[in-house]
Amino acid sequence: MSTVVSRTSDSRSAAAGLDVAAIRAQFPILAQRVHGQPLVYLDNAATTLKPRAVIDRLHRHYAAETANIHRGVHYLSEQATEAYEQVRERVRGFLGAAAREEIIFTSGTTDSINLVAQGWATANLARGDEVVITHMEHHSNIVPWQMLAERTGAVLRVAPISDRGELEWDRFLDLLGPRTRLVAATHVCNSLGTIVPAAELVHAAHAVGARVLLDGAQAAAHLPLDVTALDVDFYCCSGHKLFGPTGTGVLYGKRELLEAMPPVRGGGDMIKSVTFARTTYADLPNKLEAGTPHIAGVIGLGAAVEWIERVGLEAIGRHEERLLDTATAALSAIDGVRLIGTAAHKSAILSFTVGDIHPHDVGTIADQEGVALRTGHHCTQPVMDRFGVPATARASFSVYNDESDVAALVRAIGRAQEMFA
Q: Which of 334, 327, 401, 411 is nearest to 11 (CA)?
A: 401
Question: In this structure, are residues 352 and 328 in contact, taking their beta carbons and an 8 Å threshold?
Answer: no
SS3 annotation, the chain: CEEECCCCCCCCCEECCEEHHHHHCCCHHHCEEECCEECEECECCCCCCCCHHHHHHHHHHHHHCCCCCCCCCCHHHHHHHHHHHHHHHHHHHHHCCCCHHHEEEECCHHHHHHHHHHHHHHHHCCCCCEEEEECCCCHHHCHHHHHHHHHHCCEEEEECECCCCCECHHHHHHHCCCCEEEEEEECECCCCCEECCHHHHHHHHHHCCCEEEEECCCCCCCCCCCHHHHCCCEEEEEHHHCCCCCCCEEEEECHHHHHHCCCCCCCCCCEEEECCCCEEECCCCHHHCCCCCCHHHHHHHHHHHHHHHHHCHHHHHHHHHHHHHHHHHHHHCCCCEEEECCCCCECCEEEEEECCECHHHHHHHHHHCCEECEEECCCCHHHHHHHCCCCEEEEECCCCCCHHHHHHHHHHHHHHHHHCC
CA angle 381, 166, 136 (to 5 degrees): 25
Cα dihedral across residues 183, 189, 192, 194: positive or negative = positive
**Selected catalytic residue, list 189, 236, 237, 379:** 379
The yes-or-no answer on residue 379 being catalytic is yes
What residues are annotated to the active site?
379
